[in-house]
């Protein structure tokens, strides 16, 4: 579905929820291939007519290009012409084009912050859009490649300078097989993630080193979560990150250090509050979705006790992106890889030449959050001092 149509559904949401008669629509939407029978039954379980209407509008935004015109046609066939007119008239407004932006100086602040197949259909495009409150919202890095705005922004003193080729090092640790003593299952599909990331970061001019099936070689927690070695021992993300901070790695002082963590953050399975869309038609046949390994749990006495120096880390220029919110499951398909890495790879392919890291990870979060019966919400811990742009060809 095009972004303009998705925004139109969002702006019309209140009236659709109030007036939409959902019962006559099911057979038509099933016949048009907008939803499967399982998806319709899932929407019907949402509750009242208003609840079902709200769920239908939400799930409709995650379908393909055919969904919006099929929905309009179904409204007309069921006599809901006022709603069809509301949406069809709104769809006639011309789409806004990307605009060149003047360099924007941003404030420095930290923040916490799958489709199968055509993931790009779920990604917001870099257009200028009017929000529900009438405000104009434009990604600050949506300038066209090679434009004066982009060149000026990339040369700003608020941007990390990447000039060497390769521009840096990328270490990928891919743990798939675990020892019997660890009591951990194999992470089927992780090799797909690894191959995607290796290819992607090589294309972004990094020197890539892949390490597979590593054991743990064994603080207080500023960065939540942890990674299991193949021996079942856990290394906190905090400890991994601190190996590269300004105190422990002087050669990397002032240089950006990026971490992308694909692992469970906990045992909770997020069903969402309004969104609960099922997407079996997007799932490859024979595929299987499972939670990504055993979730991280802090065991008293198992962590290194910090001394006075280690308890005062210097995490400047560090950026950690998590596949899921702390405490929640991270989903991985055994054939196509994890939701997070698949979406991250797609976003980097499309937007790395023009957008900064934070803008792209907002796109990743938006796309992943729209997937599946269960939900997943990626987020970040940002201690960068400047914008980060990958090298572009």
**Total residues belonging to the chain:** 393
Residue 198: predicted pLDDT: 95
Rounded Cα distance between 149 and 138, Å, is 14
- For the segment(s) 119-383, the CATH number from 3.30.565.10, 3.40.50.1460, 3.20.20.70, 1.20.1730.10 is 3.40.50.1460
Residue 136: predicted pLDDT: 37
Q: pLDDT tens track of the chain, all 393 residues?
A: 787 888 888 888 889 988 999 999 999 999 888 999 988 888 898 888 988 998 898 888 888 888 899 999 999 999 999 998 888 875 444 443 333 333 333 333 333 333 333 333 334 344 333 333 333 334 554 566 666 666 666 666 788 888 888 999 999 999 999 898 888 888 988 999 999 999 999 999 999 999 999 988 654 456 777 888 888 888 888 888 888 887 788 888 888 999 999 887 655 666 655 433 344 334 433 456 665 644 434 343 333 333 333 333 456 889 999 998 777 778 888 888 899 999 999 999 999 989 999 999 999 999 988 876 778 889 899 999 899 999 876
249 alpha-carbon distance from chain centroid = 30
Distances from the Cα of 196 to the Cα of 110, 201, 337, angstroms: 29, 9, 9
Residue 10: predicted pLDDT: 82
> Could you give the residue range(s) of every CATH 1.10.533.10 domain in the chain?
3-90
Tokens of 101: 């932006």
Closest CA to 248 of 240, 260, 259: 240
Q: Is the dihedral of CA 301, 246, 158, 171 positive or negative?
A: negative
In our burial notation (b when 16+ CB lie closer than 10 A, e otherwise), range 216-236 reads beeeeebbbbbbbbbbbebbb
CA atoms within 13 A on the CB side of 172: 22
Angle at which helices 339-351 and 190-203 cross, to 10°: 20
Instruction: Tell me if 33 sits within 8 A of 66, measured CB to CB.
Output: yes
Q: Which CATH architecture has domain 3-90?
A: Orthogonal Bundle (1.10)
Residue 112: predicted pLDDT: 33
Residue 163: predicted pLDDT: 82
Residue 248: predicted pLDDT: 82
Closest CA to 75 of 89, 87, 63: 87
Residue 152: predicted pLDDT: 62
Q: Which residues pair with 169 in a beta bridge?
A: 207
> Could you give the residue range(s) of every CATH 3.40.50.1460 domain in the chain?
119-383
Check: pTM over 0.75? Answer yes or no: no
The helix (H) or strand (E) run that includes residue 351 is helix 339-351
Rounded Cα distance between 337 and 287, Å, is 10
Residue 133: predicted pLDDT: 36
Residue 110: predicted pLDDT: 35
Rounded Cα distance between 389 and 358, Å, is 9
């Amino acid at each position: 579905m095009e972004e303009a149509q998705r925004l139109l559904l969002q702006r019309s949401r209140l009236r659709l929820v109030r007036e939409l008669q959902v019962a006559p629509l099911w057979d038509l939407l099933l016949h048009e291939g907008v939803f499967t029978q399982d998806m319709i039954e899932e929407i019907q379980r949402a509750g009242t007519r208003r609840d079902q209407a709200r769920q239908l509008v939400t799930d409709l935004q995650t379908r393909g290009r055919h969904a919006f015109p099929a929905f309009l046609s179904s409204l007309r066939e069921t006599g809901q012409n006022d709603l069809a007119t509301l949406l069809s008239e709104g769809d006639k407004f011309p789409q806004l084009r990307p605009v060149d932006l003047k360099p924007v100086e941003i404030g420095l602040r930290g923040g916490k912050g799958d489709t199968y197949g055509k993931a790009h259909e779920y990604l917001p495009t870099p257009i200028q859009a009017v929000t529900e409150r009438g405000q104009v919202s434009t990604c600050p890095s949506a300038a066209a490649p090679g434009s004066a705005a982009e060149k000026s922004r990339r040369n700003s003193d608020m941007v990390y300078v990447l000039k060497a080729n390769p521009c840096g090092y990328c270490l990928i640790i891919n743990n798939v097989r675990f020892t019997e003593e660890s009591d951990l299952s194999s992470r089927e599909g992780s090799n797909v993630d690894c191959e995607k990331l290796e290819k992607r970061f090589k294309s972004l001019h990094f020197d890539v080193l892949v390490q597979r099936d590593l054991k743990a070689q064994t603080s207080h927690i500023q960065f939540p979560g942890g990674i299991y070695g193949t021996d079942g021992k856990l290394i906190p993300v905090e400890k991994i990150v601190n190996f590269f901070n300004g105190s422990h790695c002087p050669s990397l002082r002032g240089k950006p250090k990026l971490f992308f963590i694909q692992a469970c953050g906990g045992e909770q399975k997020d069903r969402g509050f309004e969104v609960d869309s099922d997407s079996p038609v997007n799932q490859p046949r024979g595929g299987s979705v499972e939670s990504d390994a055993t979730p991280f749990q802090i065991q008293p006495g198992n962590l290194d006790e910090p001394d006075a120096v280690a308890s005062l880390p210097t995490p400047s220029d560090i950026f950690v992106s998590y596949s899921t919110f702390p405490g929640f499951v991270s989903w991985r398909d055994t054939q196509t890889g994890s939701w997070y890495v698949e979406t991250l790879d797609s976003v980097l392919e499309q937007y790395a030449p023009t957008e900064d890291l934070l803008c792209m990870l907002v796109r990743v979060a938006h796309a992943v959050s729209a997937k599946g019966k269960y939900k997943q919400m990626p987020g970040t811990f940002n201690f960068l001092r400047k914008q980060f742009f990958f090298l572009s060809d």
